Every structure is written in C-alpha cells, then in structure tokens.
A and B are shown apart, each in its own frame.
Chain A
Amino acid sequence: DAGVIQSPRHEVTEMGQEVTLRCKPISGHDYLFWYRQTMMRGLELLIYFNNNVPIDDSGMPEDRFSAKMPNASFSTLKIQPSEPRDSAVYFCASSQQGSETQYFGPGTRLLVL
C-alpha cells in the first residue's frame, strides 16, 4: 500500500482565497483524522471520521473550516476564506477499527499571504 496520500504537498495562497486540501486514506481503514501543526500550538486534532461519518469536529477552529468524506477513499478539508493565521502544516491520518495506531500522511504545508 502507498500509505496515506495527501495533496497538494505545498500550497501558497492569498488571504481570502478558498483552499482545499485532499486526503486518500489507507485502503480498509475505518477512521480518518485531520490535524494541524504549528510552532505555537503544536499538533491539534481538527476533526475525525468513522466510516465516512464525522464523529468529533470540536477541534475545527471556525466556521471557515469544513471537512467532508464523501466515500471511504477520499476526504477534503476546506478553508474559506483563508487567513494568514491558517498557515500551518495539515496532516491527514487513518487507522483501522480496534487499533490505536494512526498512519500519517506527509502533510500539506499551507502558507496564506
């Protein structure tokens, strides 16, 4: 398996623009997680899904952030409108039912100017 795939790997955009981050989890995994990592706040869980259903979105910072998982092999994290303070590395991770081990993607480095 190729592991968790994220795209794009790098994104530079201007304030106010819409940003869409994409994730393909490992085939057969039931859980999908979106994290954000910054120097100031470290690694934070934004939202996670189980069998494509959002279970906990309490980490989503604002209404500007939204996440979807239309099927078992694809998820998106959207920021609209983006702001400079959204600049961070966004990770997607997946895991199997009954396992505590999460497999992380390489991340998307987002810079909002």
Chain B
Amino acid sequence: KQEVTQIPAALSVPEGENLVLNCSFTDSAIYNLQWFRQDPGKGLTSLLLIQSSQREQTSGRLNASLDKSSGRSTLYIAASQPGDSATYLCAVRPTTSGTYKYIFGTGTRLKVLA
C-alpha cells in the first residue's frame, strides 16, 4: 500500500531564507507526483507536477525534484516571502491506481516571518 510522508510537519523561517520541504513515498511505481499549496480555509492549488520520467520542474521561485527510485521528492522555495505561508502537500499517482487517483501526504505547515 502506497504511503506518503512529509517532514517536517511544521516549519517557521525568517523572510528571505531558502528552504526545502521533503516528501517520501513507499512505492516507486508512480505515474507522477504533484505539489500543492493549501491556504487556511481554502482548497488546494496545484503548484508543480513532475512526471515519473522527469527529474525536476521549476516555476518561478519554486523547484521540485523527484528521485523515484529512492521514493523522494523535494520542494525548494527560494527567497521565501510571508505570502508563501501555507500548508504544502505532495501527492503521488500510483501506476496501480485508476486514472487521477492520488495519494496525499499530510502536509508541511510553513510560516514565513516578516
């Protein structure tokens, strides 16, 4: 059974710091991995999607990497800002699942202090 773990559960950093969020999964048989952002009281917003054949994806100050064989992904946030404060979730789509069926981690709650 696929399990997704995110460490740390919470993180507080001063503004301007570069930071790394970690995601690990137990089964490397995945189609892809996505990183999401969730603001308090709101739904999820997709940030980056990495196909299983890819090593990384970039969008602005965000960079996500994938090491499928070791079951790990990282989300790198450069020059963090208070507006980056949110919960970040990763999710994998196992190859054994049906279309679009994702398994989510429990998230990392990030606070960027001004």
B1 at the interface (CB under 8 A from A): no
Name the residue on A nearest B32 (C-beta).
A100
Smallest CB-CB A-B distances: 8 pairs: A104-B43, A43-B104, A42-B106, A104-B44, A56-B98, A101-B46, A105-B43, A100-B49
Distance (Å) between the CB of B88 and the closest chain A CB?
A: 12
- Size bin of chain B's contact surface: 20 to 34
- Majority secondary structure of chain A interface residues (helix, strand, loop or mixed): strand
Name the residue on A nearest B6 (C-beta).
A42
Interface residues of A in 67-107 (CB under 8 A from B): 91, 93, 95, 100-102, 104-107
A110 at the interface (CB under 8 A from B): no
Inter-chain contacts of A102 with B (CB < 8 A): 44, 46, 100
The 8 A CB mask of B89-104 against A (1 = contact, 0 = none) is 1010100001111101
A19 at the interface (CB under 8 A from B): no
- State in angstroms the CA–CA spacing of A42 and B98 once bound together: 20
- State in angstroms the CA–CA spacing of A102 and B106 once bound together: 18
Are B104 and A33 in contact, with the CB atoms below 8 A? no
Are A45 and B102 in contact, with the CB atoms below 8 A? yes
